[in-house]
Chains A and B, each alone.
Chain A
Amino acid sequence: MINRNLAKILANRYIILASLLLIAALGLLLLPAYQKNERVTAEDLLAKVVNPERYVTSDDLAHKIITKDPSILLIDLRDEKEYAEYSLTGALNIPFDAILNADYEAYLNQGQYDIVLFSNDDFKADQAWLILTRMDYENLHVLQGGIKGWYNTILNPPEPTENMAKEAFELYDFRKAAAMYFGVGIKQHNQVEQQDMTPKKVVIPIVKKKKRKPEGGC
């Protein structure tokens, strides 16, 4: 009995399957639309914002520049004029307005270098960091204090007072030496030497992660 009923239903099996397919397609039409989250959700962004790891202190950065750490890429977010006047050694100029330009995407969106963003303060740099992080770019850092902080700590460090700890003096010595390296207060006879110090133009090709496109075909 059951078998016969089943057979009757199954006689129309193609019709049933076809109508299921139609219903599934219709379902897509009827589902209410909603706005999707981007890959980096606001919650992800907040979690990254709260984490202070993105900040690089100027001492760390000075050390890295002096030791010619090849893994850092400095990005100067100030405008061209300020960049032409002075910038950190080996920095690349991407004006703040232009950070979303397609021309610069290859610099900003890559996994090879640790990018250090800086501007006069760390305000603009932090905003750029937020915008770029929302786009899921990797290895972005912000120079704490920006150029102003750089000036106040490295180029023109405050002299420690007598009653300060030994570390403060060591730090001061390091900063003084670093300032010298970056060309502060070098006497004339050092002029030639200083030119030797300037690293040659480095050409570092960025090899983008090869993304193999899947290809179809039967």
Chain B
Amino acid sequence: MSDETGRTIFLDGEEVPFDIGETIFQVAERYRKDIPTLCYDDRLEAFGGCRLCVVEIEGARTPVASCTTMAEPGMRITTKSGSLEMHRRVLLEMVVSENREVDVDELSGYASQEMKNLVDRYSARTGRFAGDKSGVSRPDDPNPFILRDYENCISCYRCVRVCAEQEGDYAISIMNRGFETQITTEFGGLLKDSSCTFCGQCIQTCPTGALGDLKALRHVEVEEPIEKTRSVCTYCGVGCALDIMTKGDQVVGIQPAMDGPANEGALCVKGQFAFDFVHHPDRLKTPFIRDDHGQLVPATWDQALDKAAAGLLEAVNEHGRHSLYAIASGRAPNEAGFTMQKFVRAGLGTSYIDNCSRA
């Protein structure tokens, strides 16, 4: 299939069209070539650091990184070959030989299984290049949200880049090079003393679990499998889509929806980490009614509904239908507000209803 302008490339022998400005990797992704990556996050500028995405271009002397190479008309590209696969496997073995562990828990973050999955896919040996290691962990950082286990860091710089490019905070930086490379903050201090806002984006893009979600990791020992339920954040009006992670009935963590229309993978500290109220012991578990001594005491639904209905009707019967006023919530779903306004309108024929938008 060749278009009039001739903007096509040959991917593993198949002629396919592309758009100007697309990289080889982007075109290959569209055709499900499943090229391995570690430093790639499609929300970020391509970086070309991990070299796992190398492909062969006919006529080129050496394989090139497909994430940073633009597609050009007529290119003949091989995405998978014996030598490419060997190259990828050796690179992976070099990377993992440096890390303390590969098997990090899925609760660490959205992308935390990427390296583990590649090691499995390529049957890469983890101890092949034993020797020097880079990255010094920061167990001294007492922040309750972000694990800083740099001994599992592979210097893909996704955290650095997501903080700069997506979040615009530039809280994370890089010190030194080679085996001395260290992901750090300004002056090597604690995250709290940096410009970090604890939005959690670095956790979610880390492909090794070096940066991990400490709040979710509290629940590593819970046996049940992780289930994810798509919903929307309960705080501000931006409406960030997110996945609620549960083990059994327990909410164990939150991950941003990478395809969330309002947030495209971003959350803030509240949406990411402030969810414990859901299971807080202070939650109301039964209705309460005020007893004869003026105390609020637990009651059944029948008792409470009867008492509420009688109390509201008494006011209406004695003082008229305009004596009852309803205040709807800006925090509750549309169905709550709708039934509230219908309550006064269909029930009493008034519009004695408002919500919290005036204060």
Query: Do chains A and B stick together as partners?
Result: no
